[in-house]
Chains A and B, each alone.
Chain A
Amino acid sequence: LAKTTQPISMDSYEGQEVNITCSHNNIATNDYITWYQQFPSQGPRFIIQGYKTKVTNEVASLFIPADRKSSTLSLPRVSLSDTAVYYCLVGGPQTGANNLFFGTGTRLTVIP
């Protein structure tokens, strides 16, 4: 089971770049790393996904080192609306559909 470990919470001021790191030491060869964002009383929402190196989209960047045992979600210039819980998820053919571990996520609070 590819479990993940993330910081429980982080605070940041508006306009700063935020980096949230996730540890996944047991990641399997074919596993992908996916990040989700969850606002209060809403379901998690897909942000970004990657397999190795760096992935960037209009919302965030994902950095994955060569050993793939961790990953870092980078949110550029956060605003108050980025206050949410962020989940790192690891999964692939070897992990199985019943072993998608969400954990407790990282609660990001953006301060004015």
Chain B
Amino acid sequence: EAQVTQNPRYLITVTGKKLTVTCSQNMNHEYMSWYRQDPGLGLRQIYYSMNVEVTDKGDVPEGYKVSRKEKRNFPLILESPSPNQTSLYFCASSTFQQGAYNSPLHFGNGTRLTVT
């Protein structure tokens, strides 16, 4: 089954403790992206990747890191989490090859992060 898998679904951590949220897709998509969703603010893009070893900042990249060493994986790293990073996070992927930005995004089921 074609899907985007995020882990964990729920995560509670303390300020400053490094964490990684994993994202994996099995559709051979070139494009992957991370979003955070907060009440009243909708979905905001954190980072995106057009292909292996190609990543770039979205709207709200501060406090986050990503890597794209393999096509299928796009982990989101919080080196020193803070309470303002408490949010619902979504990973998405798409073909987007050769500038085909009309290709639909496929989303994971989300990771609810709480930083105390």
Contacts and interface: CB of A to CB of B under 8 A. Distances in A.
A109 interface: no
Contacts of A105: 42
Interface stretch (A40-48, A54-62, A72-80): A40-48
B92 interface: yes
Interface string B30-72: 0101010000111111001010000011100000000000000
Contact of B48 (A44, A46, A92, A97): A97
A102 B58 CA distance: 13
A96 B41 contact: no
A46 B105 contact: yes
B27 to A, nearest CB: 13
A6 to B, nearest CB: 10
A49 B109 contact: no
B101 A95 contact: yes
A26 B87 CA distance: 30
Interface string B97-114: 001111011111110100
A42 B110 CA distance: 6
Give the interface residue-count category, chain A. 20 to 34
Contacts of A12: none
B90 interface: yes
A98 B56 contact: yes
Given A34-B104, A91-B102, A98 B42 contact: no
Interface of B: 4, 31, 33, 35, 40-45, 48, 50, 56-58, 88, 90, 92, 96, 99-102, 104-110, 112
Given A36-B105, A100-B33, A105-B42, 5 more contacts: A34-B104, A41-B110, A45-B107, A97-B48, A100-B45
Q: Which 7 A-B pairs have the closest CB atoms?
A: A43-B107, A32-B102, A102-B43, A104-B42, A46-B104, A93-B99, A91-B101
7 contacts: A32-B101, A43-B90, A49-B102, A51-B102, A91-B101, A100-B101, A102-B35
